[in-house]
A and B are shown apart, each in its own frame.
Chain A
Amino acid sequence: MQETLATSTLLAPSRSSISTQERFSTAGQTSSTGPQPSRLSIIPPPSKSKGWNSGTKVRRMRRIIAEDPEWSLAIVPLLTELCIQHIVKNFQNNPILKQLLPEHQQKVLSHLSPELPLAVTANLIDDESYWRRCCLQRWPVCHVARHGGSWKRLFFERHLENLIKHFIPGTTDPAVLLDLLPLCRSYVRRLCVHQLLPPVQPPAPPRSGELSDSGSEGETEEPATDHYQLRDLVAGLSHLEELDLVYGVKDCGMNFEGNLFLFTYRDCHSLAATIKACHTLKIFRLTRSKVDDDKARILIRSLLDHPALEELDLSHNLIADRGARAAAKLLSHSRLRVLNLANNQVRAPGAQSLAHALAHNTNLISLNLRLNCIEDEGGQALAHALQTNKCLTTLHLGGNELSEPTATLLSQVLSVNTTLTSINLSCNHIGLDGGKQLLEGMLDNKTLLEFDLRLSDVAQESEYLIGQALCANREAARQRTLNPGHFMSPIVAKGPENPAR
């Protein structure tokens, strides 16, 4: 629109130039009648296409035209536009982008097709809108916020995840992944692979019928069921911060087989070496992968004194006391802030060792021991540790067979501790008396914001009263966050709206 305006204004005062251009155009048409109309027809004429067409017809009829009142330069595409079109067309063979002016770059990017090979686009194009188009074309649902708000990052991360997810060791060529590595090296920060396929085994189909032999054969063939070795890939990703792995098959449904979910020792060793070598790793998750004590110990040993690790999630595994002890050791040998051991087989000794490490720890903020079986002994040890700990804010002890003694100790902790903000004791056997004691402790506490006591045999009345206390605490916390910014109106203006939404 602007260009047309500009050209028209330009043309208006100088009539002489028009005549010369007119001559040119007529000359061009006379010399090459064949290709010219075709090319012109490609360009969508903006508004006056009809008039122009009629003009040509007239021109063909008459060789000499004195003056065409309907003639306008707007219908002739500019050279720049033509160039841009050409560039877009031949982008795959000859990518020219950086040399262009910013506005032209924008134009080129808006016309590029998302199907271009990554080898061309990956390191050349930084424009978010292009990558947005790419992403939206491939995946209907995209959470950009989960990928740091960057569409490009999202694209590469998901692309890589997809490739890994469908990688079958032995059959798929590893070069597929390694070729991608130089392209996505600087964009991938998070690797969230929820499926790692085992190698395809030719004798698998017949074996599925024989139920009796499956166990013994599985053991002998275990070395063959190794998953894809992430070592080379992870070593290549220089900015990797988060690694989320599940050694298992997704959506197997009724095709379930035991050996689909095997996390072998070789896998374990290679993974341990991988995460040890990756110094940028901050978050490591390995869930639903049948990690038992020994494997957990191998992994945790490689994580000792890791320079960056902040979160470790080993939930939904088979970790028992020894693994828990190793995790406790890791607590004192790293800067771990979040530890998740939910749905494992940790019992009282493991919980005790964790509590011992927790008593003098100053880094750990969140500890999750949901669906374990630490029982009262472990619970009491943890409660004792919390009396000295000044750092932990979140503690999840749901489904741990805890009962009244732990509750009494926790109530003492509640009146002393000023850092805890969230405790979950759901699915335990706290009992009526335990609930009352917890209520007493709760009355002295001013910092706790969440306290889950569902399905733990606590009397309705005490649960309600605890809820009231929590409400009061939440209000106080809100006031506390508001008050420091009392002087600055914008913060205050936002303050009351945030909790409401």
Chain B
Amino acid sequence: MLETAKSYAVLEEELQRLQRIGVALLGDVTDSIIAEYIWIGGSGTDMRSKARTLPGPVKSPEELPRWNYDGSSTGQAPGKDSEVILYPQAIFKDPFRRGDNILVICDCYTPQGQPIPTNKRAAAAKIFSQVEVSNEEPWYGLEQEYTLLQKEVKWPLGWPIGGYPGPQGPYYCGIGVDKAWGRDIVDAHYKACLYAGIQIGGINGEVMPGQWEFQVGPALGITAGDQLWAARYILERITEIAGVVLSLDPKPVEGDWNGAGCHTNFSTKSMRREGGFRVIKDAIEKLEKRHKAHIAAYGEGNERRLTGKHETASMNTFSWGVANRGASIRVGRDTEAEGKGYFEDRRPASNMDPYIVTSMIAETTILFQQNHPRCLSCQH
């Protein structure tokens, strides 16, 4: 017994020593920095990362070298030709390592320079760089909902094992130990994102207990996707620390429980100007015409969530309304009153790929002409 107690105490001391080093700012002793390269894996939602030492400080992605990883271990390449190349695209301050250390959002290419099939950023970048789109300065606000699950049982955090909490009602923006479960994770994530330089606009507790939301934006064009992925990465690192599982499943619990979405708020320069309400209505009409194509790309498993109940619109019908949370697209009262502003696409699921959704909305509303389709990915 004594032997075990002694070795445990030694381990504790060792841990504390390592933690003190972890807190130490390397900038005191070296010009090197640590860059954590982050990419999206083969499922389209699993995030991966690894770190490397580089001479610092680094101010922009162009200064960073490309890298590579073993794609056969992430379902993205065959074993005998497994190298996938990482192109650095966006930099954020690393809230975990601090100092001059950075997080790097990357996308993935074959050695020949082709985006691999799971790389949705490349096609999005093409859309956002088109003159008609960039002229319109498309802004996005992404409302990322997510559910926290207990580690061993995959049941929502705070829910009794083998049972359910009291019905929905008290939890939305609720406080108190009987109403808010996981706030420490949410608040730690909020500050970590602000530290990282992500434009995180806010947080709130959601209708289903154990479910939360944060918002990213307003972000311009392709940066919306970069920032959302960086925020998701930081969130999963925070839940890792907390010993809790992060779920982006759109309907984590069947029954009278809300699902999780990623409502996407959108506006263009024309919509934000005088007379913008007309432009908004035109845009919504175009989205209606391409409803099927959008819905197919708005997240796996969304059909379990978009039932027409629990503040969603039914998956098969397209609708829109002012202040209507049961519609596919909601326009705020502010926007209606001022005659200009933005609208909210409520269809995307929490596990959507923001590169796909943001670029599709831009494509449909700015590029899509009903009789002259120039769009790159339409399916009608």
A and B together in one complex:
no
What residues make up the interface of A, taking CB atoms closer than 8 Å to B? none
